[in-house]
Amino acid sequence: MFNRPGTDSTENQARRRVQRRVPKPADLAPLMQFKKFDFNASRRRLAAALTIEDLRTIAKRRTPKAAFDYTEGAAEGEFSLARARQAFQDVEFHPAILRDVSEVDTSCEVFGGPSALPFGIAPTGFTRLMQTEGEVAGAGAAGAAGIPFSLSTLGTTSVEDVQAANPHGRNFFQLYVMKDRQISYDLTERAAAAGFDTLLFTVDTPVAGARLRDKRNGFSIPPALTIKTIANAVPRPWWWYDFLTTPPLEFASLTSTGGAVGELLDKAMDPSINFEDLETIRELFPGKLVVKGVQTVEDAKKLAGLGVDGIVLSNHGGRQLDRAPVPFYLLPEVVREVGDDLEVTLDTGIMNGADIVSSIALGAKFTFVGRAYLYGLMAGGRPGVDRAIQILTDQIVRTMKLLEVASLDELQPKHVTQLQRLVPRTTG
């Protein structure tokens, strides 16, 4: 629009009102403060990671495909894992207002002992394959953060070495019941003797799940050198250097190694596992007995009647039965049915501290993180695990403050709505 002669536009009037001047050096000084450059590339990478997904990106770049896919992958079409992660994303929070949250308390009690945060490190197999520090890095980082560390039967570090890496912290042992029962019994007694205070009796692995990524990659323990693996190793020499210059990769709890992952699991697992095995382990282990891999309300109720100390709602990270129940969806009903009788905990799909807060709000006493921890391990060894724990911690604290709750005990179902995508069809 043209201005009439003798008139002035609003824009021109505004320009005349703004006083301009030549900037003084003193004015520029606050703007010229550059962050000190860190010459340590690993520290720079980890400091730039703001989410677990950021750590995953670094991990994928630095880890050979077969090892990364073993961590990342799940069974068959990987629907169980995708649905578990989607369930956490399909959450609506309901914050309170005008509450004092200048300080928040993230500590809790689980399985008879303290934890500084409402999550611990889940048991993972073949951990030194992902990064040579393996379980020692995980246990040390967990101890420093004041959270529990869980060692897998298929771990690559012995119970004694994990105890040495985390001498003053809490260590849990995850037990598979094997075809040779005496191996399982001996491991149970070793864990007790090493001071592990909780045993995670795992019930969702009568046989190995069909982990198709591993089969397609020809994934084996130890890794087989083929033209394909050598080609994949070229841009990742640091991984192979660590692998070849550190003690041989072996399963600290198994006497037989070598072969495809599925074959090893099938040798170790036993489809005849039953409730009598649970009772036998209960007699052998003096600490807390927790059943890991519960996937129905009915089984949770049965276990509550048997006097176990707790359960882990879990579909094994989607790595066993594909299209399995989503633990986060099961949580509210299981807590209503058995929450007064045993401690209900949760794993599978957790990638953000908000996922943990959601779980606690819906009644979980505690949660476990697996892949989130391993992404940190692959991204940077022990410092990477520390970074993963810090990222989740920051997210938990921030989410609690934005919900305006000052402690975990204040989190209630009213703070969370589970939005629905997959709803069972009814037939008339």
DSSP 190-204: HHHHTT--EEEEE-S
Between 223 and 287, the more confident residue is 287
Instruction: For residue 74, name the pLDDT band (cuts at 50, 70, 90).
Output: very high
Q: Nearest-CA neighbor of 370 among 36, 127, 115?
A: 127
Q: Which two tokens stand for residue 266?
A: 């099938």
Question: Is residue 281 pLDDT above 60, yes or no?
Answer: yes
Q: 76, 66, 87: which is closest to 223 by C-alpha? A: 66
- Is the model's pTM score more than 0.85? yes
* Domain locations in the chain as residue ranges: 44-416
Tokens of 200: 């995670």
Provide the mean pLDDT of the chain. 89
Residue labelled with tokens 């005008």: 98
Low-confidence winner among 45-59, 139-153, 254-268 (lowest mean pLDDT): 254-268
pLDDT confidence of residue 220: 73
pLDDT of residue 8: 61
Residues 332-358: what's their mean pLDDT?
A: 97
Q: What percent of the chain is modeled with pLDDT above 90?
A: 68
Higher pLDDT, 36 or 138: 138
Residue 202 pLDDT greater than 90, yes or no = yes
Joined tokens for residue 131: 């990064």
Residue 295 near residue 313, CB atoms below 8 Å = yes
Q: What is the pLDDT of residue 128?
A: 92
Is 316 one of the annotated active-site residues of the chain?
A: yes
Q: Is 127:157 a contact under the CB 8 Å cutoff?
A: yes
pLDDT digits (tens, 9 = 90+) for 173-197: 999 998 888 889 999 999 999 999 9
Identify the CA nearest to 316 among candidates 159, 123, 129. Answer: 123
Handedness of CA 5, 7, 8, 9 (dihedral sign): negative
SS3 assignment, position 291: strand
- Of 281, 271, 288, 245, the closest CA to residue 111 belongs to 288
Q: What dotted CATH number matches 44-416?
A: 3.20.20.70
Set 94, 168, 316, 415: catalytic member: 316
| CB-side neighbour CA atoms (13 Å) of 174 | 25
Mean pLDDT, residues 397-402 taken together: 98
The pLDDT assigned to 19 comes to 76
